Structure formats: C-alpha cells, structure tokens
Structure 1
Amino acid sequence: MQSTRIPYKTDDYGNPIYARVSWSTATQSPRPIALIYHGGGLMVGSSEMIPKPQTEYRCSKGFLVVAPNYRLVPQVSGRQAFADAVYAYDWTTTDLPKLLQAEHSLEIDSAQIVAMGHSSGGTLALHIASCRSLKAATAFYPSLFLADPTTSMHRPTTAPPFGLMPDFTPTKEDSASIEPAGLQVSEAPLAIPGSIPQPRNKWQMHVIKHGQWPQTAQPDGDYAAMDPMTRVSARWPPVMIVQGEMDDVPGGGLELAERAEREMRAAGVREVVLEVVPGERHMFDLSPTVGTVDTGPKWEAVVRGLEWLKRHVSVKYD
C-alpha cells in the first residue's frame, strides 16, 4: 500500500488542511474511491485515527482511499466542519484524479465513489449521502438525530469515559492551546488511556459530560445543519449502519440506529441494513488489534461494512 498526505484546502489563515490518500500498487486501474471520515465529535481526531487494517482492506479491493481532515470546533462551528467534508468530496472527485494521474499515473473512476466514517465521521458520511452522489455509505456507530432535543446528546451523561472525568475549567494557557492564534485546528489526537489528557481532550470530555455538545458545536442553535436525518429521502444511496449493541455514548446507541433504519426505510431509501455487533461499545473497531491479531467477531463486522461498499460499485475489483 502506498500512502501520501495532500493538502486539499486551507483554513481561514491560509494553513493547509490535509487528506491522507492511499492505494495499492498491485491493483489495476481505474480505481473507485472510498472516502473515509474520522470521528472525534468534531472536536478532536484526524485521518491518523482511521484504522490501518481498514485502509489496507479497502486498498486491497482496488479502492483509492481518501481520509480528509477537517476544521474542528470551537474555532469553527459544526456547520463549517460539515462544509469541509463536502469540500473534500468535491476535491476528491474533481482535482485529485488529475493530480494522481499526473504524479503517479493512476486512473481514478470518480463516478464510482462510496463514503464511510466512524462516530461523528459516520454522521459526515450520511451528510454526504444527503447532498452528493454516492454509490453507497457505511456509517460505523454514527451520531444521530441531533436536531431532536430529547436525544442523549442534549443531556448530561455518566457514561465512561466522559462521566468519569473531573470537571475542567480551562486556564488562559489551556484556552490558547484549544484555540491557537493564527491556526484553525484540523488535527488533534484522541485521549490515550493511561496518559495525561491534553487540554482539548479535557475540554471535550467536560462539554459532553454536561450535555453541552450541541450548543458548543452549533452556537446558533441550528442543529439540523448537523443532522442528516432531517434530510433523509428516497434519493439517498444504499446505507449500512454498523452499531455496537452496548454503545452508550451520547448521540449514538442501538436505539437511535434502529430509529434511523426505520426512518430511512419509510423515506424510501432503496437499501438499508443495520448490522448489530453483539456486546460491543462505541469505537469497538479502533483498537490496533482489530483486523490484525484479532480477526474475530469485531473484525468480521467491520468486513461486512466494508464489503457493503464494494458490492455497490458497478465495476468489481479483486
């Protein structure tokens, strides 16, 4: 597998925002595109979060894999992060094929494009399904129904890890780290278990713990801007949701995934599949062992989600 980082846009200060682009050198052209959005609640994360086994699997099936970063809250709103996700799609289907043809002699079939993502990245994949042309979308444990004020994202939580974290009031130095001058953050690591969390991680945990995520991510209260389920229609491509049975992270969970399945079917989405992973919680697939030494039920569920995408491109690759 070959991989490179390519700037696809700049922030408001002119700093580059990168997408990681990967492909197999053994695959014949033309390649379909798999667009993958990382999770992190629009507050943390980067393309480096995308599990390597999943990228390798997609590449081995002939896909060009594009994992874009996007600007993170609070320097931008969730609406702007969603706009970056759409911009990444547009760049991937227009500018990137020409760039790869010129620099690597790769032929890309930009009409054959699928999207997937993890957590809030799954929500971004569904957003792309609502406003751009896709062959299929797979959302791993997405955040759903943000525009519904009765859902868990709008309430305080005791669920780990958020409920276990002490309250956090940023110092002046912390605030400068969270919102650095002259840079809109588009890459921020997740908190690593056993290590001291960075100010941004502490801040994110505090916001979610106290049910303040919606108003922090979208201060104007237009939560529908971040809720693709308000735009579900028969024009959507086939959709699969891969959902851990025991997921209790605010904004997600099996109950909301089942509701999404019902509403997509009622709206006329032509194919909808809910893949429930027994006994698993949020981010069950992000451990580096899943897909490497652990190829059991968790990896098998991931593969079903990835194969769903492969089945919906019109040209089959092996």
Structure 2
Amino acid sequence: MEIIRMPYKTDVFGNPLYAKVAWSKGTESAKPTALVYHGGGLMVGSSEMVPQSQINYLVERGFAVVIPNYRLAPQVTAKEVFADCEEAYEWAVGTLPDLMRSQHGIYLDSTRTVAFGHSSGGTIALHLASCKPVKAVTAFYPSLFASDSSTSAHKPTSAPPFGMMPDFHPTLEEWATITPEGKQLSETPLAAPGTIPAPRNKWQMHTLKNGQWLPTLQPDGDYATLDPMTRITPEWCPVMLVQGELDNVPGSSLELAQRAEKATADAGVREVRLEVVKGEGHMFDLPPMVGTTDLGAKWEAVRKGLDWLVDHV
C-alpha cells in the first residue's frame, strides 16, 4: 500500500490543508475513489483518526482512499468547514486524477466516487449526498437533525464522559493554543486515555456538556447548514447509516438514526439502510483492534458499511 499527504487548498493565511491518499499498485484499471471525513465534532481531529483497518479494506478492494483534513472551529464556522469538504471533493475528482496519473502512474475513475465518515464526518458525508454526484454514502453514527431545537445537541448533558468533566474556562494563554495567530488549525489530536487533555479538548468537552456545541459551530444560528436532513430529495444516492444502540453523544443516537432512515425513505431516496450495532456506543469502531484482532460484531457492522460503498461503484 502507498500512502502520501497532498495539499488540496490553503487557509486564509496561506497554510496548506492536506489530504491523506492511500492506494495499492498492481492493477491497470481505473480505481474508484472513497472520500473519508474524520470525526471530532468539527472542533478536533485529523485524517489520522480514520482506522487503518477501514482504509486497508477499501484499498484491498481497488479503491483510492482520500481523507482530507478541514479547518476546525472556532476559527471557522460550520459553513466554512462544509465548504472545505466540498472543495476536497472537487479536488479529488478534478485535480487528483491528473496528479496520480502523472506522478504515480495510477488511474482514477472520478465518475465512481463514494463518501463515508464518522460522527460529524458522517454528517459531512450525508451533506455530500445533497450536493455532489457521489455514488453512495455510509455515515457511521452521524450527528443528525441539528436544525431541530428539541434534539440532544441543543441541550446540556450529564451523560458520561461529558457530565464527568469539570467546566473549562481557558486562560488567554490556553485560548492562544485553541486559536493561534497566523494559522487556521486543521489537524489536532483527540484526547488520549490516561493523559491530561489539551486545552482544545477540554474546551470541546465543555461546549458539549453545556449545550453550546451548535452555537459555537454556527454563531448566526443557521443550524440547517449542519443538517443534511433539511436537503433530502429523491435524487440522493443510496445511503447507509451505521449506529451504535447505546450512543449518547449529543446529536447522535439510535432514535435519531431511525428518524433519519424514515425521513430519507419517505422522501423517495431509492436505497436506504440502517445497521444497528447492539450494545455499542459512539466511536465503537475506532479502537485499533477492531478489524485486526477483533473481527466480531463491531467489525461486521463496519464491514457492512464499507461493502455498501463497494457494491455501489
């Protein structure tokens, strides 16, 4: 397998935003492309969050896998994040094929492009279904129905781990690491278990705990921007949702996934499927053993979500 980083755009200060590109040699046929959007609530994360087992699975089935980073709140709004992700799609189908052919001798078939993502990245993948000609989308435990003020994303939560975290009011020095001068952050790590979280991670948990996540992402209150469910049409590509039964992250739950399944089906989307992962919560697929040493129910659900993409190109 070959893996490289390639810049696909710059931030307002001229700093590059990178996409991770993975593929395998050994075939002369043009490869389909899988765009993958990482999770992190649009506040943390990077392409390094996407499990290698999932990348391997698609590469082994002939895909070129493209995982773009995107700018993170609060330096940008959700509208700007979604714009980055649309630009990443346009780059992947418009510019990347020429680069791969000239630099690596690899041919890409831009007419066979699919998308998937995790958590807020799953929401972005669903957004792509509303505005780009992707062949299929799989959304792993996405945030849904942000425009509905009655959902959990709009409310404080006492659910672990959020309710267990102390409130966090960053000092000026800490805030400077969250919003550094001269660069819009597009790559930050998740908090690692057993370590002291960085200021950005503490700040993110504070916003989720106190029901401030959506106002922080979209200060103008235009939450429809974050809600692909407001843009469903019969022309949407086939959609699959993979949802943990016990997910309690604000904005993501089995109830919301079931509601999304019904909404897309009622709107006339020709293929819709919901895969429920019993006994599992948010990010059930991210531990590195899932898909390697652990090939049980969690990996089976992931495999079904990835096969959905394979079967539609």
Q: CA deviation at 1:163?
A: 1.1
Structure 2 counterpart of 1:295? 295
Instruction: Name the aligned partner's letter for residue 247 of structure 2.
Output: D
What's the secondary structure of 2:95's corresponding residue?
Answer: helix
- Alpha-carbon separation, structure 1, partners of 2:93 and 2:163: 41
Q: How far apart are 1:87 and its partner, in Å? A: 0.4
Aligned pair 1:22/2:28, yes or no?
no
Question: What are the within-5 Å matches in structure 2 for residues 77-116 of structure 1?
Answer: 77-116=77-116
Match of 1:146 in 2: 146
Residue 316 of structure 1 corresponds to which residue in structure 2?
none
TM-score of the pair, normalised by structure 1: 0.98
Q: Which residue of 1 aligns with 2:34?
A: 34
Gaps of 5+ in 1: 314-318
8 Å Cα contact 2:3-2:21 kept in structure 1:
yes
SS in 2 for 1:308: helix
Matching residue of 1:67: 67
Query: 4+ residue runs of structure 1 moved beyond 6 angstroms?
Result: none
Taking the aligned partners of 1:107 and 1:184, their CA distance within structure 2 comes to 33
**Equivalent residue runs for 1:1-318 within 5 Å:** 1-313=1-313
Contact conserved, 2:135 with 2:312, CA < 8 A, in 1? Answer: yes
Shift of 1:29: 2.3
Alpha carbons 1:27, 1:60 under 8 Å: kept:
no
| Contact 2:234 2:269 (8 Å CA) reproduced | yes
SS in 1 for 2:191: coil
For residue 158 of structure 1, report the CA deviation from its aligned partner.
1.1
- With the length of structure 2 as denominator, give the TM-score of the two structures: 0.99
- The CA deviation at 1:261 is 0.4
Separation in 2, partners of 1:49, 1:148? 29
| Cα offsets for 1:110-153 (capped at 9, x unmatched) | 00000000000000000000000011000000000000000000
Residues 258 and 274, structure 2, Cα contact 8 Å, conserved in 1: yes
* Deviation of the 1:162 alpha carbon: 1.2
Amino acid aligned to 1:265 = A
Provide Cα deviations, 1:260-301, integer angstroms capped at 9, x if missing partner: 000000100000000000000000000011011101110011
The two structures, once aligned, show a CA RMSD in angstroms of: 0.6
Q: 1:259 to 1:98 in 2, by over 3 A?
A: same
Question: How many pairs does the alignment contain?
Answer: 313
Checking the alignment, whether the CA contact within 8 Å between 2:28 and 2:106 is kept in structure 1 is: no
Contact 2:8–2:16 under 8 Å retained in 1: yes
Give 1:24 shift. Answer: 1.1
